[in-house]
Amino acid sequence: MRSAPTILHLDMDAFYASAEQAAKPSLRGKAVVVGGLGPRGVVATASYEARRFGVHSAMPMGQARRLAPNAAYLVPRFGLYREVSEQVMGLLRELSPLVEPLSLDEAFVDLEAGGVADDEASARLVGERLRTDIRAVTGLNGSVGLAVSKMLAKIASEEAKPDGLRLIAPGTERALLGPMPVRTLPGVGPATGDHLRRAGITTVEELAEAGEDELVRLLGKSHGGSLYAMALARDERPVVAERESKSVSVEDTYDVDIHDRVRVRTEVGRLAERCVQRLRAAGHSGRTIVLKVRRFDFSTLTRSETLRGPTDDPGVVREAAARLLESVDTTGGVRLLGVGVTGLADYTQEDLFAQAQAAEAALAVAAAESAAQVVPGDDGGVGGVAEAAPEGGEPVVRAEEGAQESVAPAERRWAAGHDVRHAEYGHGWVQGSGLGRVTVRFETPGSPPGRVRTFRTDDADLAPAEPLPLVGVGLRSEGVARAGLKGPSTTDGARAAEAAEARSGPG
């Protein structure tokens, strides 16, 4: 292991909830819960204000509502979170070529590889400057851990939360780890923790005292050996620059089980389209199509089909997913569906068989259209379409859809927390909707808390909108300019003060 604490771990504080509070002045300092709002929804993130009531990530949303009935419950806005994440990751890449993202809000950085730190003092300065830059660029807070290894850096960032920095000095690691519970170490989940507890091992110090032979006997050679090394504060894992994705997938969990086979097919087709959109956005194609079905009894089935070559054709993926669905019994109901593509490549080999099928289908449609006859109505207009007649019979007239009765459009749906714009009142966000009404609070990240107004869900002046930047463009550019500095700068403090002063304006 290295001798200086130049492994940095960044973890954004309550990321989704903090982004929502930054975007919505009326929610700052209040309990905010982000996640699925349906009966089967779970909490993705809870603000620190909500955590005081016992709400935490992965908790069923129903339980969260009972614990914090007055919190703001919002549907995630992943587009905004990805945009902010890209800004943060950009700052990290200015520090080092070795950045290992773990999620949208978490990453390791090898500062030594970037030449920006080689001892405790320089590492601390870089960590503090990073926190300042993140706040200037995104308006959000992140906690930083610094240590000689990835394991210790992550432990340090957890201890630094919220909005802090913790550096574990070389030589103090064993004393720090000793009294901590075994669940602190990576790889020790509930099952392993219970197994160790039954053996009388509850702390990291007891884990080290047990010895490698005993841990191997209890947990197996690989797991026991690695845990013993971690208990001695040994972690040789390097920071690895982000790897290419091995798969692309999307899935939906439904509030109510789907029993209608036609709707199941429709949902699979829709998921296939979304999956291909992600695939193309990543610049990939793939050979293997995967279908995931979780049934009413929580049993989960996966089916896969490997094509002759990589594809990013939505029709090919959709048809493959539909074929896979035919082998799955959904009679009892479906609670989750997913479509994925694996075996990724950065090129596309056109599926000639699928193209031939598409061409045949197009010819069939053209033939059917040419066989159809247009029948004049009584007023000289088009009254209907005459389908191809049975052999020896007269054409059968089929009324055009909507000719006899108009179908009412489906009610517009407004997700809680999502952005809208009103022709008169400007930008706002949905506080809630139901019974044909939608309630909107009109405010922006830089404004004071705004007023609330209620509209009909079909109000023509109300439309969905894109999220606004959390920080003004000028401040964001200034933050990026500071991030371009490779080492600690004596002007950082002054610039941070200027940014803080600018941010202390309205809102």
Name the strand (E) or helix (H) holding 105: none
**Which segments of 72-183 does DSSP mark as H helices, in order?**
78-95, 111-114, 120-138, 150-160, 173-177
Residue 426, Cα to own-chain centre: how many angstroms?
A: 28
- Around Cβ 396, how many Cβ atoms within 10 Å? 12
Residue with the two structure tokens 């056109």: 350
Q: Which two tokens stand for residue 451?
A: 């007023």
Of 312, 221, 321, whose CA–CA distance to 267 is shortest? Answer: 321
Inter-residue long-range contacts of 67-70, CB under 8 Å, 24+ positions, other chains counted: 68/31, 68/33, 70/31
Alpha helices in 200-335 (DSSP H): 204-210, 212-219, 221-231, 261-281, 314-325
Q: Is 106 a catalytic residue?
A: yes
**Catalytically annotated residue among 20, 49, 94, 106:** 106
Q: Which residues, 6+ apart, have CB-to-CB distance to 208 below 8 Å? A: 174, 178, 228, 231, 232
Omega within 30 of 0 (cis) for the link into 445: no
Which one, of 248, 343, 254, lies nearest residue 293 by Cα?
254
Token pair of 190, please?
């509930």
CB contact at 8 A, 276 and 340? no
Decide if 264 contacts 337 (C-beta within 8 A): yes
* Residues 323, 306: Cα–Cα separation, whole Å: 12
For residues 324 and 304, the answer to whether their CB atoms sit within 8 Å is yes
Backbone angles phi, psi at 45, to 5 degrees: -150, 145
Looking at the annotation, which residues are catalytic?
106
